[in-house]
Every structure is written in structure tokens, then in C-alpha cells.
Amino acid sequence: MPLARTILWLSRPLRPARSLCRAQFMERKAQEPPSPPAMENGTRSCEERPPADPVATVTEGAAKIVFPSANEVFYNPVQEFNRDLTCAVITEFARIHLGAKGIQMTAVKVPGEKDSEKIAVDLSDQEEETAEKNENLAPGDRPRTAAVGEICEEGLRVLEGLAASGLRSIRFALEVPGLQSVVANDASARAVELMHRNVELNGVAHLVQPNQADARMLMYQHQKAPERFDVIDLDPYGSPAPFLDAAVQAVSDGGLLCVTCTDMAVLAGNSGETCYSKYGAMALKSRACHEMALRIVLHSLDLHANCYQRYIVPLLSISADFYVRVFVRVFTGQAKVKSSASKQALVFQCVGCGAFYLQRLGKASGDPGGRIKFSAACGPPVTPECEHCGQRHQLGGPMWAEPIHDLDFVGRVLDAVTANPGRFHTSTRIQGVLSVVTEELPDVPLYYTLDQLSSTIHCNTPRLLQLRSALLHAGFRVSLSHACKNAVKTDAPPEALWDIMRCWEKECPVKRERLSESSPAFRILAVEPRLKANFNIREDANPSSRQRGLKRFQANPEANWGPRPRARPGGKAASEDLAGRRRLLQNKRKEPAEDPAQRAARLKTFPCKRFKEGTCQLGDQCCYSHSPAAPVASGDIPIEDCLETTTKISPGSKAADGGIPGPGVD
């Protein structure tokens, strides 16, 4: 009997048994309660699967959460600095918020703070008299105190739009006083299920409310003034651009909006057209790209707010690690919105020497009657060619041209963290970064870098204190920037800066014969400096944060740190997914090694230019053809020159390894 017929004959008695088992399984399945479908970004997943049990425990700050080992819910431990700083900022904002609502003698109690270090709300003379009377009242009649973990009826209503595991919301409930409620929202059903477990684990169910919805729809549903949130925190995977329009409408008047952007490749100028599509501005590749990224985000926030007669006031803007983080207050006012155009600026940047100039989009001027008149600004501030090196200019922006920090608010946050350093695990870094922020020049957008200035004219790099001292001796202001270690932020014009570098080049001369006459270095050094630079070290050239040795610029906190893979329902663990991508992209852009004989034969198809001119001295040793009419390979670029010396191709040479071929060869 054939094999196929035998198998068919044996399988006939098993069919009724299989049908019976299938019917019993479907009957049991119908009796089970349906499992909630997984959602990702507001859409239902096609697969329904039982949730995996969390197997890991993460402790951060005062919170302790359980976490799945697979990459189903996004979590990045490197951003602990981001979460610590957010808790510190919202705590100080809570003090301001409670004081604006007229709560008398309300001190915000933070774990670890001493009673003498409590910061009370600023009171008028009349309120101070009332406060003295309150001291004589019975304990039950005295004004209550907003403490951590307690519901404050007139406190902050907080929304975390993309909560993932709920760690940030739980930390708010355990570390930030003066809260009325915290809504921890996420579109993923798996994330919301995990949030419920973590909320119960930390005992903050009275404050934190897990919610499953699309973050945009949730914020659009809270546009009315009584339903708005006092604090909205957006920390998405990648760009927050899709959420900004809803966020500026859902935050209360004078409320706090916290936004994180991790798409730094877009904001730093690698893809200007993508940056324009997301943020409405062109990003430029420059040494000041990190500060420009901050200003582009602030411009986008203000632009979205202006559509609804609202405007922003930046409190703190930080560029750290692989992301930028901005804290802004949103206000309503038609008159203030009119001045928004004068707060934005275009950037003209020279492609040769890197000198930049700002062009405001609008102009606000006052008339004798005390009214403010708004008009279009006049420009451009540059000539068609750079006056220093003769190169063209690139146009970037618009970007925010006003101060990106509120130094009074930053000082309050810094004082609170310094008084209670044990509150956060990253307190030393917070103190260092905020100290540099307080030292920055607030009215000077963007900056140069020390290596940029020296590499442009090909000279030795001066010490940072020498360049800062020269600028101070010349009567200009100068500061560092938290966004770059070698930044030189100064109000000196580019011509004064290049005069100082010309004076430095005279002390460390450059071999002019090696410079091309069309290079920026040759043209800059061809001009005699009109400013006499003094490089003697001044005491005020060394900033206070540098003298105290604060940790201002963080080293890599761990191996392979940076953005983590996107969360995927039922996906592999983050380490496995990352390892798989590395194997997939390994040697992606490397061309295969070329055989030496094939390379020699290919070069012989190109005519020797020097042989045609009668100047080639290599004869038969030349790698190119000396025939009168050598055939040229189709699709190849003609060779401009021949080799100066005899090229010996061996299996161990660079050409055999796919390295750099001889001169003139693609």
C-alpha cells in the first residue's frame, strides 16, 4: 500500500477524537472572561495574549516598582536624572502655586528637610499680621500644611500623558507635596495593568489614577478652564510634536508644561527638513546645535500656544545626555501674544568660519504715549558673502531668541537641592548643572567652542581661561554653557572674536604656505587685528562652579547607554533586541574587499593625465595606462592624477582590505 494512502487510512479513526477535543476547548474558551486587548498608541493589537508576570524590581527615589523582563513597557534607568530634576522643579512650582491661591503660612514639607529650612510662601504685611494671629490659635484652627503623600484640596492636578510603568507618577505622589491628584495615562493596556499593580505596591492609590487613553484625546477633553491640569509632563519615545497642540490647551493659566525630546538627530541638524515638519524650524549643523535644539523646541511650544491666544515663559531648559528637557509656564493674554514675533529669530551661519548672526522676525518699540508698536524687523544682518572668510551663509530657524531660563526660579531649585542633597540620587549632578545655568549669560543666544575657533585657522588651541581672560580684558562678557563643555558664550561680535584669535596666532604661528588661498584660515589671517588681545589670566575668568569642582558634565553612566528600543507588546527584551540590531547592521556600509589583480586591471583602464602632459616619470611602473587611447570604464570618474610613487599591491595592503585606494580613485 502506498505511504500516503496508509497515512490517510490510519488518520480516519482519529478525526472524531480531534473534533471532540476541539469542541470541548471552544466551550471552555467561551466560558472564560475575555482578556483586555493590548493597545499601542491608541490602536488595538491583533493578538490577544495573557499578560506576562513582572520578574524584576526597580527602586528609584522613594518608589519601588515591578517591571517585566521583556521590552513590553518602556523604561530607561539612565533618565533618573531627568526624573529627579522634574521632582525638584515641580516641588518649587507647588510652593509658587499654593502661594498664588492665598493659602496662608503654608510650608511645603519635603522628606529630609529641616524645619528651619522650610520655604514659606511670600506674604504681604497684612498677611504677616494674620500669620502672627494664627500662631495663637488652637492646633485644629491653624492653617494646614501641604505634606508629601497627602491630598491637598487646592493643590496641583498633574497629568503624565505617557506614563508607561507609572514610575514617574508614583514618584510625584511619594516625593512632591501639595498634590490634589495625579493622572497616569498610557495607551497600552499592558502598561495600565502594570501601573495598577505598582500603585497598589507603593500605597498611593488615593493620589495616582491610572488611565488608558490616547494622550491627545485625553488632553483635548480637558480644554475647558475648570478641567485643565496644573502640571502636564510629556516624556514620549522620540518627538513630542504630535502632543504639543493638545498640551498647550489642556494646561491651566500659569500652569507648568514639562516636555522631553529624545530625537536629537533631528533637532541637531542631521535632517533639517524633518525638523521643519515636526517643529516648524530648520536646524543647522553647528557646534551650538544642542542649545539651538532647546530654542527650536521653545519656538514650537510658543507657536502652538499663540494659536489659542496663549504664550510661554521658560523656567528651565536643559540639554543633557541624549535629550533636551524644557520646563515652561503657559499664560493667556492677547496683548502678550503680539510680542511673540519679536521673541523669535532666524540664524545666519557662515559655512566657512562658523560665525553666526541673529535676525529677529519682529520689532517691538514704544511710542511717546507709552503704547507698544509692533512692526516687521529690517534685515538681513549679513552681506551675501561672509566678511571674514568670503564663504556663503546658511539660514536656520526660526528659534526662541529670549532667555531660556528664569534665573530666580533656578536659584530656588538649586537652593532646595543643596539644602537637602540626600533627597535625590543624582543631587550632585543637579547642583552642578544648575550652577552652570545660573552662570550663563541669559541674553546671549548660542555660543562658539574653543576647538572650533582654533581649528578654523589651524592653530594651537589656547586654554579656556586664556580666551575668557582675553574677552574680559577687551570689555566683553563671557560665560560657559551647560550644553557643551568647551563652550564660549559671549556678547563679543565675530570680528572681535577673530581679532583675538589673530593675536593668539601671532604667539603660536601657523605655516601660511600650507594654507590654500581660498580657505577660511588664509583669509582670516590675511587681515591684521585691530584689537590688541591680552591673554593674562584674570581671577574672574574662572567661574565659581569650576573653582568648586562641581560635577557639571556627566560621564557616560553605564555601558551602551542612550535611547532604548521602543516598547513592543510581547517583544523581546531590550538587550536581545539591541544585540539583534547590531548583528543586522554590522558592516552595513563597508564595501567588500577588492582582489588586488582586479584592482590593478581596473586602474589600467584609466589614462594617465601626466603621461598626456609628458610629465609622468614612472614609465611601466605607473598604475594607469600610458597608451594613446586607453579605454575608460563606463560609469567611472576620470582620474585627475597619477601616483607619485610606485604602488605595490599585496594581499595585506589597505586596498586589499577595502581601505582607501590610491589618489584620484573612487
Q: What is the CATH number of the domain that holds 493?
A: 3.30.56.70
Bridge-partner residues for 326, per DSSP?
259, 317
- pLDDT top residue among 583 and 467: 467
- The confidence score (pLDDT) of residue 107 equals 44
- The confidence score (pLDDT) of residue 16 equals 47
Domain span including residue 498: 446-548
Domain assignment present for 476:
yes
* pLDDT tens for each residue of 373-430: 888 999 899 999 999 999 999 999 999 999 999 999 999 999 999 999 989 999 999 9
- The confidence score (pLDDT) of residue 593 equals 67
pLDDT band at residue 445 using 50, 70 and 90 as cut-offs: very high
User: For residues 347 and 397, is the Cβ–Cβ distance under 8 A?
Assistant: yes
- pLDDT top residue among 377 and 554: 377
The pTM (predicted TM-score) of the whole model is: 0.74
- pLDDT top residue among 337 and 35: 337
pLDDT averaged over every residue in the chain? 80
* pLDDT tens for each residue of 127-157: 445 445 555 544 445 555 678 888 888 889 9
Other Cβ atoms within 10 Å of 203 Cβ, number: 12
628 contact partners, CB below 8 Å, separation of at least 6:
none
- What is residue 116's DSSP assignment? G
Counting every residue, how long is the chain? 666
Range scoring the smallest mean pLDDT among 117-121, 340-344, 479-483, 506-510? 117-121
Domain assignment present for 521:
yes
How many percent of the chain have pLDDT more than 90?
51
Domain assignment present for 541:
yes
pLDDT at 216 over 70: yes
pLDDT at 294 over 70: yes
How many percent of the chain have pLDDT more than 70?
72
Helix (H, G, I), strand (E, B) or coil at 372: strand
Domain assignment present for 640:
no
Written as nine digits, the cell of 597 is: 589583480
- pLDDT top residue among 365 and 468: 468
Domain assignment present for 528:
yes
Helix (H, G, I), strand (E, B) or coil at 61: coil
- The confidence score (pLDDT) of residue 570 equals 52
Range scoring the smallest mean pLDDT among 574-578, 589-593, 600-604? 574-578
Rounded-to-10 torsion of CA 256, 257, 262, 264 = -100
- The confidence score (pLDDT) of residue 130 equals 45
- The confidence score (pLDDT) of residue 620 equals 82
| Burial group, residue 403, by CB count within 10 angstroms (0-12, 13-18, 19+) | middle
* pLDDT tens for each residue of 557-572: 666 666 665 655 555 4
- pLDDT top residue among 284 and 567: 284
- Nearest residue to 643 via CA among 666, 659, 622: 622
Domain assignment present for 516:
yes
- The confidence score (pLDDT) of residue 206 equals 93
Domain assignment present for 482:
yes
Most confident among 29-33, 87-91, 191-195 (mean pLDDT)? 87-91
Domain assignment present for 460:
yes
pLDDT at 649 over 70: no
User: For residues 71 and 580, is the Cβ–Cβ distance under 8 A?
Assistant: no
pLDDT band at residue 621 using 50, 70 and 90 as cut-offs: confident
| Burial group, residue 604, by CB count within 10 angstroms (0-12, 13-18, 19+) | middle
Q: How many domains does the chain have?
A: 1
Most confident among 88-102, 122-136, 284-298, 640-654 (mean pLDDT)? 284-298
Residue 277 to residue 229: CA distance in whole angstroms: 28
- The confidence score (pLDDT) of residue 253 equals 94
